[in-house]
Amino acid sequence: MREITYREAIGEAYREEMRRDRMVVTFGEDLAEYGGAFAVTQGLLEEFGPDRVRTTPISEAAIVGCAIGSAMIGLRPVAEIMFDDFIFCAGDQVVNQLAKLRYMSAGQLKIPVVIRMAMGAGLSQAAQHAQCVMGMFMNVPGLKIACPATPYDAKGILKSSIRDDSPVLFFEHLKLYDLKGRVPDEEYLLPLGRSDIKRKGKDLTVVAIAEMVQKSLSVAEKMEKERGISIEVIDPVTLVPLDMEPVIDSVKKTGRVIIAYNGPLTNGAGAEIAARLAESAIEYLDSPVYRVAEKDCPIPFAPHLERAVTPQEEDIVDAVNKVFK
């Protein structure tokens, strides 16, 4: 085991898969010579050459279209969209082509495409560079959605995503890139569709997604020390497939649940989790399900306003107070 950053973990996953399989290629804006907007792909061009590592024009539609076409002829492309805000420029390619071609070909076509996207607020990049749109794509059948929150998960899930024969949208919260965590020296894979219990507890369940995992763990530690409240933190890791079994088992034990996630409150990823709890675990709940997420408004540029509309640790604490009111 060694400690590396989230950014380095993704880079390692790239290298290992590109060394293992010459059909793995990658491309995106500023991806080759520059190493990507967040330095994730630094060094790939030097090791694997311009045939497998390419910088593209500024056209998300072309990037995703090329990924689909190259997958149809046998390659395994990893496309980078600099910010998830811009994935809508490739809306038709993602929703009507990428998600549907395997179904429309009766399984004859494999579409092993991974689309990596940075997401999230926190760096004062304003309304068009700070969204979290992962919840929107949960409503598009045919896409798998990953949003790992630790270096360990990021590496293992990306490697599995590259080997998957179905398309995967891989969301990376930009505030996690410098997060450090322990990662094995030996190769490992993590399956898509398996939630991970990040912290055991008995009084309250917090389902935390993406950047909210670290904030939830911080709150859980403080609540135990200051108030004796034992909080279990569960990270779904992937939103599609969504593994609800550990969440339901936890709610049976605690009777209380908070869902903390990035992206707008209304119709976000947490709303789907809450709906499934209502269907499968409502008889075990001793209080309402509370959600902690962004306010339903564009992300401001001003740091104090950005902070005010995005979920913070104090918002989780407020939800804890409501649960135990």
Is the separation of the CB atoms in 120 and 177 below 8 Å? no
Active site residue 173: no
Edge-to-edge strand list for the sheet holding 238-240: 53-55, 24-28, 76-83, 114-119, 168-173, 144-146, 238-240
**In 94-198, alpha helices (H):** 101-104, 151-163
- Rounded to 5 degrees, φ, ψ at 154 are -60, -45
Q: Write a three-state SS string for 264-290.
A: ECCCCHHHHHHHHHHHHCHHHCCCCCE
DSSP labels for 196-224? EEEE--SSEEEEE-TTHHHHHHHHHHHHH
Selecting among 52, 76, 129, 199, the annotated active-site residue is 129
Q: What amino acid positions are annotated as catalytic residues? A: 129
